[in-house]
Structure 1
Amino acid sequence: MIGWLERWQIPLYLAALGAGAVFGMAAPSVAPGLELAINPVLMVLLYATFLSVPLTRLGRALRDGRFLAGLLVLNFVLVPVVVYGLSRFVADDQALLLGVLLVLLTPCIDYVIVFSGLAGAAHDRLLGAAPLLMLVQMLLLPVFLGLFMGPDLFQVLHAASFLEAFGLLIVAPLALAALTQYLATRSAAARKVMDVMEALMVPLMMATLAVVVASQVDAVRAELSSLLRVLPIYVAFLIVMVPLGVLTGRVFGQDVPATRAVVFSGATRNSLVVLPLALAVPEALALASVVVVTQTLVELVGMVTYVRLIPRLLPRRATLAPARDVATDEDHPPRPG
């Protein structure tokens, strides 16, 4: 069953999106309750994600200075420049602008692991970098928002929201995963928990996508005319980040799997994690949450394209850096997470 889920995970994710959309439109009154479920399902998903790679690999990833430097430069130097330029097209609308900035300034730390693995990227190194990426984006996001929107924004956005998101969505799942791995060396029950969570990775991602879409799809439909303005921005971002990611990988001397990972990290955004922040803004900016969800829908379609495109753009035989290519054969990509 696990093998079947992994083999068909992309169609299953799209089916989950469709099911969530149908349910959300058929029963819009359940949206508030589903919004409350977003954080819990995200916490479980990220727990399973962190649990799937031994913490010894996390330590090795954090010592991989060149790879981490490439990720940091791409996501926190080059991406903000791109985002600033693209966001000027909606600068006249504060809610649209806030939603675009929230989602495009924050690199993904969850399903990027799945899609990059399917493309033969060094997904375990991305997983190891996830806590650092999350910490840096939580520190820098208020800075970028202030620069791009003005200091008045801080009257409606508070640091407590960012700290709560970091604690609930990163620190808690990571600590619990570390405890589970420690107990697994001594307890058969803990080892069983690890096996169960591995088997649940794809269903958990499906549940997360379905809950998010079902909770927001009615709002998307109601604001469709406004949201059409952000669609070209999201598509342009996905296109621009391919050459920027490849260039970053080459500048920092990465091998093919690592360069693929850099491309995916630059292109995928943290929509699921920043959605609770967008949902907490005042009513006047409430459209920001729908703008974030719209990015999720565009990006998932883009990731299906990336999984096919990136291995062709960066084939195994390409020479980008000194040979350090130790990832799994792209014909048999690593398991998600």
Structure 2
Amino acid sequence: KRAIAFSPVSLLLQLILLPVYIWLFLGSEITTSVMQRELVLAFFGLIVLPLAAAFATEKWAEKREGRETILNAFGWLPVPLLALVVFSIAAAQVNVVIDSLGILPSLFAVFSAFLLIAGVLSLVLSKIFSLPTNQGRVLAFSLGSRNSFVVLPLALSLPSSFELTVVVIVFQSLVELFGMAAYIWWVPKKLYPSAI
């Protein structure tokens, strides 16, 4: 429950730190042109709107019979909705994606390796700090998911010379989406097989 409660705080921290990262990597010229409208849209679209929708859904479900069933059904909606968003952006950038097909296998290898390393690192850290199994599982998911879709609004607003950035972020989001689906099986079955 604490990990779920921390998720919006984590997203907010990522959005606050984005200007710093963009300034460090791309310079002040890009930072000033990109940061204005896109950060506000990302904040409301990725944090405020989903939190308000979740609150409204929970209040609506409280008044219905079978509350748990309703909430469990809605709990799976973020996965297909995120997939729809990522695939839509990929479709909109189809020419850039086609031009970048040569680098996709390398990107897939790097992003997949990251997911594997994050899982194993969580196991090592869990053993070092003697974390219970459930906390180790949360750590694995926290390390493995990078929420790269948070920077999508900013990447889409970058100048045309940075269009490859969009391909990398969209592809990473796809790999992460399927990677998290694999984590749902891998983490409890193989990494942390018994809950405490």
TM over 0.5: yes
Question: How many residue pairs are counted as aligned between the two chains?
Answer: 191
Higher helix share: 2
> Do 1:156 and 1:282's aligned partners in 2 also have CA atoms closer than 8 Å?
no
Residue 183 of structure 2 corresponds to 306
Residue 24 of structure 1 corresponds to none
Q: Counterparts in 2 of 1:1-337, with a 5 A limit? A: 57=1, 61=2, 125=3, 127-185=4-62, 187-188=63-64, 198=74, 201=77, 203-205=80-82, 207-227=84-104, 230-251=107-128, 253-310=130-187, 311-316=189-194, 325=196
> Do 2:122 and 2:143's aligned partners in 1 also have CA atoms closer than 8 Å?
yes
> Do 1:246 and 1:259's aligned partners in 2 also have CA atoms closer than 8 Å?
yes
Flag structure 1 segments of 5+ consecutive residues without an equivalent: 1-56, 62-124, 318-324, 326-337
Q: Distance in 2 between matches of 1:148 and 1:199?
A: 36
TM-score if structure 2 supplies the norm length?
A: 0.75
- Cα drift, residue 279 of structure 1: 0.9
Mark the CA change 1:291 to 1:179 in structure 2 (over 3 Å): closer, same or farther.
same
Q: Distance in 2 between matches of 1:268 and 1:200?
A: 17
- Cα drift, residue 131 of structure 1: 0.6
Q: Distance in 1 between matches of 2:179 and 2:10?
A: 22
Mark the CA change 1:241 to 1:197 in structure 2 (over 3 Å): closer, same or farther.
closer
Measured on the aligned residues, the alpha-carbon RMSD in Å equals 3.2
Mark the CA change 1:282 to 1:150 in structure 2 (over 3 Å): closer, same or farther.
closer
> Do 2:34 and 2:158's aligned partners in 1 also have CA atoms closer than 8 Å?
yes
Query: SS where residue 273 of structure 1 aligns?
Result: helix
Deviates more, 1:155-164 or 1:127-136: 155-164
Q: Distance in 2 between matches of 1:173 and 1:155?
A: 27
Letter in 1 for 2:194: R
Greater relative contact order structure (CA < 8 Å, 6+ sep):
1
Mark the CA change 1:159 to 1:222 in structure 2 (over 3 Å): closer, same or farther.
same
Flag structure 2 segments of 5+ consecutive residues without an equivalent: none
